[in-house]
Structure formats: structure tokens, C-alpha cells
Structure 1
Amino acid sequence: MHSSATDSIAVRARGIRANVQKTQILHGVDVALPAGRWTSVVGPNGAGKSTLLKCLAGLLRHARIEGEIELLGRPLADWPARERARQLAWLGQNEAAADELPAYDIAMLGRLPHRAWMAPPSDADHAAVQAALHTTQAWDWRARPLAQLSGGERQRVLLARALAVQAPITLMDEPLANLDPPHQSDWLRTVRALVAGGATVVSVLHEISIALQADDLLIMAAGRVVHHGPCSDAATHAALEQVFEQRIQVRQIDGLWMALPRV
């Protein structure tokens, strides 16, 4: 999807300040997220992680935002809505969805940016949706309304909707909500496969040990970026421990970096 993925910037923000209901959430955030890599955004509660992700996606409504955001080197505001929706897929927290629709139709919503107005789904649309539902192991309940699914099943259908877009950039806010450990592992494999195929993934995660499996970690506190670097770097580990007040320690176990409670 990107000829020089590791050398280019997928999303860039300069001097982002966001005020929500008269409260300033972000304080002059600068960030450059590399294309073709998985970046996880972590930090304490109230750090501004979700607000930043919504700013990058152009989804933060009812807020006053200052600064510049670029998507693939082009100002975000200059992208026509449909074109932007083909480039950037979104999976948010507590997403509103039409509960009466079957899971298959929910996933098909991810193909809307690719279809002409009122046009029926094409063979390519059906193929993308089927692949996404199989990837998230949601195919077996494709005919069931969303209202009849458990929280974890619902989350996997919404992930399938995001995957069906087949966008070069995917932003996910707490994508592991309601997923049990086996399906968290499945999600991890899915993200790695996306990045291996040249895509860019940015995820806000509370699960620090899973976040450490990313390529890069963006660490936030109090509406600011305090560190941005490779997950394998000692400086990243030190910043992570510091932002969580030394309550965790980063250790390598069986070749994987993990965040463990400090006892």
C-alpha cells in the first residue's frame, strides 16, 4: 500500500490543542506516526489518548481544536469525506450501531466509501466482508442481529466492519474491550498481518503488555506526549514505568516485553 512505508509518515499532528466542554484536554501535541508500522498509544486514565485519536481521525465534534493534522502528507481538512473514509478506517469505544441489523450488514457498512450512491454491493464488497468476518471469527453469526450478540461478539463484528474498509490506515480506540484472552491474541495476529501487508495501525490500549508488542509506543500523560519510540528501547521502558509512577516494571519473558506489577 505504501512503496516506502517505513520512510513515510501516515499521520502527522502539529501543535494540537483540544478543548472539550471548556476543558483543555490536549496541550500542544506534536506527533508523526510512521506508515507501515503499528503504534500503540498508552498512558494513565485522563491522559488524552482517545481525544488525540479522534482528532487524528477528524471525528472530534463539539470541540475546539487548534493545530494542524495531515493524513498521508495532505491536510486532513482537504480530504473529501468519501476519499478520506477509504484511506482511514476507524474502530471506536462503545460504538453506536444499528442493533437490528445482522452482523453481515454491519460489516458491509465498511464498504460504503467504495460504493456509488445507492449502488448494490459488488462481488469485491462481498469478498471483503466475508474475509473480514472470517478473520474476526464472526462468520458463524453473520445472520444474527447485533442486539443478540454478546459484548465480545459485537466487538468482533465492529472490528470486521473496520477491516472490510481495507484502508491503508486503521485507528482503533480500545479495540480489546470485551475480548477474552484468546480473542485478544487473535486481534494481535490480525494487526501484525495488516502491518506485514503494508498497512498502518494506531491503537489506544489499556493492556500494556499487548501494547508492548507493537512496533512503537506513544506514551501520554496529562494531555501531552512524554515519549515516542520503539517498544524495544530501554528509554521507552523507562518512560513507561515513570508515567505509571513506577507501579509497573517492563521485563522480557520468553522473548516478549511485558509490563508486570511492581511488588
Structure 2
Amino acid sequence: MSGSLALEARNVRVQAGEREILHGVDLKIPSGRWTSIVGPNGAGKSTLLKAVSGLLRHVGAQARIELMGRPLHGISGRERARRMAWLGQNEVAMEELLVHDVVMLGRLPHKAWLAPPSARDFEAVEQALRMTQAWQWRARPLSQLSGGERQRVLLARALCVQAQLLLMDEPLANLDPPHQTDWMHIVRDLVAAGNTVVSVLHEVSIALQADDMVIMADGRVLHHGACSDRGTHAALERVFEHRIRVLHVDGVWVALPHWRSRAAMDERHN
């Protein structure tokens, strides 16, 4: 599978009313790697992720999206759901569902209609809940969990699909730093097993721990390169108006705020 693409999109345009949100975006996501998508608010990051996943209906007629070398529109919804798992922002789940039942929903693409869960399904649910350290809540309703705990349960639901491609939009919402670290370990384990992960992240320092980075602004991809590449770091600093600096700290690349006086910032924009 070396050099193969998990996802390829060409000429993706998305419009909301009279405003075009994505302007003919091209994107290639290599298999077996973690790709992070970053950019300022309103860059179109979440819209792009939804568009390439097939969740948006109104994508430009000229768009071409391929999942593992096959046109997305030619893949049945059931097969697509087995190959590509999704974790979105502010996902709504029935509050009174038990945690175990929420995660079991991730097995629906693998089950016949109205078929009871199999031993393999139960095994997948337990594995996903243990990976996210949520197994101890399995008998609790979702309504009794904190925001961070709920996020770990929803991550477990996505992991339970056992898809080759996992798309995540702001997966670190409500997670404290230790659990953000746990999330990175999960992602690295998935990639080591040959899976592909794409994540939209506001946490730029965590995004820099990915293999590759897509940098967006104003509905366009400005740069796509390795997270270790200095060209990627320069593009990242530019897109955030040099208000961050990418530095090598304790063996990893991190993005730190670059504080400038208000007078200096005003002078730069005048």
C-alpha cells in the first residue's frame, strides 16, 4: 500500500447561499499516515472534511472525490460507513442511552438489519471503550457524563467501527491535557496498524505531531507538507500572521504564541 491514497479530492466547491466557502480545493491524503488540517477560524476546515466524507450534499458538480481509489458516489452508504468512520463537532446523542449502547452504534455498518450484536461486536465495543479509558462508565447514561467524558465515549464509537480511515473534526474538544496525550497515543497506534487518520485541530502544537499538515485559509489549501518540514512551519507562521512561532522543544515541534505589542501589530497592518 506504500504511496497509495486513502482519499483524493479534486475541484471541491461548496457554496452557502451566495457565498462560496470552498474554492475548487484539491486534496490528497496518503494511506497509513496521520494528516492534520489547521488554519484560522472560517478557513473552511470543517467544511472540507465534511465534503470529502460525503456528508455534504451540495458539493460542486465538477468535484471528484475518491475513497481508496474508488469514486465516492459509486460506493454504497453501508460500505462507505465500514471503510470511513466519522467523529464530528458537537455531535448529538440520545442522552438516556447507556454508554455501551452509544458505542455499539459504531457496529451498525457491520450488522444485518435488526440482527442482534455478535460476539465480535461486543469485543469491538469493549476494546474501543478500554482504549479511551471509558470502560468503567459502560452502564451509565450519557447524560451523567461530563463534556470530556462524553467526548471519549464518542471517540470510542468512532473507533468501534474499525474503519481503515478515521476522520475527526475537533476531537480534542473538552479533553484535558492528559487525555489529549492519550488521544495522540491512540492515533499513533491506529497509524502503526496501517490505518489513516485525518483530524481538524485548533491545537496547533498537537497538529504538528502528525505526519503531514494541510494549512487552509479563506476556503483554499495554502500548503500541504510534512509536519517536520521547515516550509510547513513557515507557512503555518504566515497563515497566523506571525502571531505564533514554531520551535523545536524537547525533541518535538511546537507552536508558541508570539506576543507583539498592539502598536507593533497596528504598524504592521498600516
Q: Smaller-chain TM-score range?
A: over 0.9
Distance 2:177 2:18 in 1: 38
Distance 1:138 1:35 in 2: 28
1:128 and 2:150 are equivalent in the alignment: no
- Residues 84-125 of structure 1, C-alpha deviations (whole Å, 9 max, x = no match): 000000000000111110010000000000001110000110
8 Å contact from structure 1 (residues 11, 70) kept in 2: yes
Give SS of 2:60's match: strand
Distance 1:28 1:241 in 2: 24
The structural deviation recorded for 1:262 is: 1.1
Distance 2:43 2:125 in 1: 35
Could you list the runs of 5+ residues in structure 1 that have no partner in the other structure?
none
Could you list the runs of 5+ residues in structure 2 that have no partner in the other structure?
260-270
Runs of at least 4 residues off by over 4 Å:
none
1:183-222 equivalences in 2 (<5 Å): 183-222=179-218
Q: Of the candidates 52, 57, 60, which is equivalent to residue 56 of structure 1?
A: 52
Deviates further, 197-206 or 91-100 = 91-100
> What is the aligned residue count?
258
8 Å contact from structure 1 (residues 20, 64) kept in 2: no
Partner residue, 1:65? 60
- Calculate percent identity across the aligned residue pairs: 67
1:141-220 equivalences in 2 (<5 Å): 141-220=137-216
8 Å contact from structure 1 (residues 136, 156) kept in 2: yes
1:91 and 2:87 are equivalent in the alignment: yes
TM-score, structure 1 as length reference: 0.97
TM-score, structure 2 as length reference: 0.94
The structural deviation recorded for 1:56 is: 1.0
1:24-35 equivalences in 2 (<5 Å): 24-35=20-31
Paired residue type of 2:108: L
- Residues 28-56 of structure 1, C-alpha deviations (whole Å, 9 max, x = no match): 10010000000000000000000000011
Distance 1:241 1:233 in 2: 13
Partner residue, 2:3? 7
Give the alignment's Cα RMSD to 1 decimal. 0.8
Distance 1:20 1:145 in 2: 37
Report the structure number with the largest CA radius of gyration: 2
Distance 2:82 2:47 in 1: 22
Paired residue type of 1:221: A
8 Å contact from structure 2 (residues 85, 159) kept in 1: yes
Paired residue type of 1:19: Q
